[in-house]
Structure 1
Amino acid sequence: MNTKVALVTGASSGIGEATALKLKALGYTVYAAARRVDRMRALAGAGINILAMDVTDDASMQAGVQEIIDKSGGIDVLINNAGYGSYGAVEDVPLDEARAQFEVNVFGGVRLIQLALPHMRKRRSGTIVNITSMGGKIHTPLGAWYHGTKFALEAISDCLRLEVQPLGIHVVVIEPGGINTEWAGIAAEKLRETSSEGAYAGQANAVVKAMVSEANRKRMSPPDLIADTIGKALSARRPKTRYAVGFGAKPMIFLRRLLSDRAFDSFIRMAMGIPRKGV
């Protein structure tokens, strides 16, 4: 029971998959969770425990955490990575889709925190790692609901850190920049579905083009960079509260602090090829 136990959500691809493999290499007993277990066969082959878990289903999360407790006695590390990007104009996005975005990106992770904390408190140790985004510090057009979830998770993480620090529990925020995963393709497809026609078509088409361009893909950082950063944070005696890593993360967050609201708006429009007026 000396081996530390980690739960990684959204582990079927991208950052979650890379993180599960990294923590396994560091000697953790790893539980990789996702809805589609068929996509985690390679992780199972690497000796990682596979969990079918839907972060929008409370019973699924309770069952998954209980399975870890029954098999391994506790949870030392929770990596809240499950999430997706849903883009579209505020006027166009159905509220059901907006709620779904918050269910996956915010409430699912918070519920797992609630389930894991009693076990961490008993040991007076543990680390909660919330994967937010540089999008939790900046804003882009047509991404209001996605950015809203990431801003929310940033705030929740800060409040949580104050609450659990006296109990010996760390809270770490990882703020990825551009990472070469399925995220951009999914966000672009959502944007096409909601706003590729009508009043916001010009903006939407420009943003889609920027998201899926080959030049943009080549600039993206590999998921392993985030996994290595998580490994670094978990290995530190006193981890940082935040790690901004990946393409564009540090400079974009710096620019947001440096520029006025309107100056940053202009910069983002220019960077994404969006005209100031018209569609």
Structure 2
Amino acid sequence: MTEGRAGVMGMLTVAAVSPTIRIGDLDGNLARIVRGIQDAAGCGAGLIVFPELATSGYVFADRAEAESLALTRDDERWDAVHAGIPDGVVVVVGYCEAAGADLFNSAAVLNSTARLADYRKAHLWGAESLIFTSGDAAGILVDAGFGRLGVAVCYDNEFPEVPRNLALGGADILALPVNWPLVSRPEGEHPPELIQAMAAARSSRLPTVIADRHGAERDVKWTGGTAIVDEQGWVVEAFRSGLTLAAVSLEVARDKGLPPHNDLFADRRPELY
């Protein structure tokens, strides 16, 4: 398997898009998501990732507000999102999912004609547990044309087992929609969540596309931690005016060998852990 939309030698152009998201403005958020897809695809992106709860906003006043901003998987408003996706492009977008009496903090995986998968966040952070039901899988794997796409949401990735298990399952790249509240850190340091994502990417040779919020919502300031991390764990591109774009090598990511004598996966000693 080689390129997605992106060219030769297993290179895939990926985009993390952080549009203006206004809580309560479901239709406006969806319209801005579609514009973000068009902008990123116009730059050659074959994988486009949006933040957690991008359709609704995050800081709900209460469950009733979340319910009013939820979407079902078959909501007709998804049609406009599909229509905005060019052929050969895969989009991951966080949304508030209504399913019967439950709400889930979910990520939809879409292309121009199909809903490839939906992932429900397994690890709920803070007051999310007052609104959402936790999902029953810790990340998912999706056949995405360019390769196997791992999908997790925000706090999921702070449990090292999650990205590791996705990589062991054959993930070529990880899509990570997040909402990272700003926390204090030493001057010049990366956000702590980004450091964890960099470490996970390096330990499994798993490129990671992180789409974070920016600005503020109600009483929460966002980190603006959008970044594209390569298979060596380095940040190759960070937040730039809503659209962050880079090319990553899936061929290199698939090769777990560490010449001349080591292999990241074959060298594991799980019987000792």
TM-score category, normalised to shorter length: 0.3 to 0.5
* More helix as a share of residues: 1
- Report the TM-score when normalising by structure 1: 0.35
State which structure, 1 or 2, has the greater radius of gyration over its C-alpha atoms.
1
- Report the TM-score when normalising by structure 2: 0.35
